[in-house]
Amino acid sequence: MTREEILKSFLADNLFVEMGYLKEGEVDSVRWANLPSNKIFQVIEIAIDGVVKNESQNVTEKKINQLLNQHP
């Protein structure tokens, strides 16, 4: 699977609209190259990169924790 395909499978979850991260119908317009710059999408980007690069879960988890522990 490509990054774009994995991204679309993540964004297929209605939770993104319900929680206000995306507007109704906006899911189709989101592309890998123009991801919104909030932390939830940064986490998704790290997770997808980990899958594509065959990183261990521990490495991906450390990267995500490092991102989430950063101060704004």
Per-residue pLDDT, averaged over 35-62, amounts to: 93
pLDDT tens digits, residue range 21-44?
A: 888 888 888 899 988 888 889 999
Residue 71 has pLDDT above 80, yes or no: no
**Residue 72 pLDDT:** 67
Residue type, 16: F
For the chain, the C-alpha Rg in angstroms (whole number) is 13
Distance of CA 31 to the CA centre of its chain: 11
Identify how many contiguous H helices and E strands the chain contains and give both numbers: 4, 0
Ramachandran angles phi, psi of 31, nearest 5°: -125, 160
Per-residue pLDDT, averaged over 4-26, amounts to: 88
Angle at 39 between CA 37 and CA 43, to 5 degrees: 105
**Residue 43 pLDDT:** 94
